[in-house]
Amino acid sequence: MELSDLISPEAVFGNLKATSKKRVLQELGSFAANFYGLAESAVFAALLEREQLGPTGMGQGVAIPHARLEGLTKVVGVFAKLAKPVDYESVDGQPVDLVFMLLAPEDAGADHLKALARVSRVMRAETVRDKLRSTEDASALYAILTEPAASQAA
């Protein structure tokens, strides 16, 4: 599974001006609802429900909010580089500026876990994070996320 299987160029944002974790989830959830044909309230509720189980801030300024929803046929994503880092209750206590949201069908099972593992591997790579932080251009961000070096990130 490659990141290009999960995300399209239209689902990448280079300067999201959200000022809190809740606003990040609302903004990305709203976009995902419109883009993927889902109910906005259902997307936001599912993301909040998942956050209550434990924060999805994985450290090093990265968050991977995710949820399972009715109405999807495959795992899909939205990526945003935030204009300013926000407090996200991350495992390392650091604010988040890179967010890769994943939404999966309710019955996704292994595909959901594979997608989470893939995104996590790519976002853990310091070189990828540095490149993502060096631009606000959405097409450049998409290229960084989907380039072969990112796909092979440990």
Which residue range forms the structural domain that includes residue 76? 3-149
Q: Which of 21, 38, 66, 131 is catalytic?
A: 66
**Contacts of residue 83, Cβ cutoff 8 Å, sequence gap at least 6:** 15, 16, 17, 18
Model confidence band, residue 154 (pLDDT cutoffs 50, 70, 90): very low
Q: Is residue 140 part of a domain?
A: yes
Q: Is residue 69 part of a domain?
A: yes
CATH of the domain at 76: 3.40.930.10
Percentage with pLDDT > 90 across the chain: 79
pLDDT at site 113? 86
Q: Is residue 142 part of a domain?
A: yes
CA–CA separation, 129 and 144 (whole Å): 9
Per-residue pLDDT tens over the stretch 106-119: 988 888 889 888 99
| Overall average pLDDT of the 22-40 stretch | 93
Total tally of structural domains belonging to the chain:
1
Q: Is residue 112 among the annotated active site residues?
A: no
pTM for this prediction: 0.93
| Overall average pLDDT of the 95-112 stretch | 92
pLDDT at site 152? 54
pLDDT at site 74? 92
| Overall average pLDDT of the 33-50 stretch | 92
**For residues 145 and 3, is the Cβ–Cβ distance under 8 A?**
yes
Helix or strand (DSSP H, E) at 22: helix 21-36
**For residues 86 and 96, is the Cβ–Cβ distance under 8 A?**
yes
Q: Is residue 28 part of a domain?
A: yes
| Overall average pLDDT of the 122-143 stretch | 95
Q: Is residue 154 part of a domain?
A: no
Per-residue pLDDT tens over the stretch 74-83: 999 999 999 9
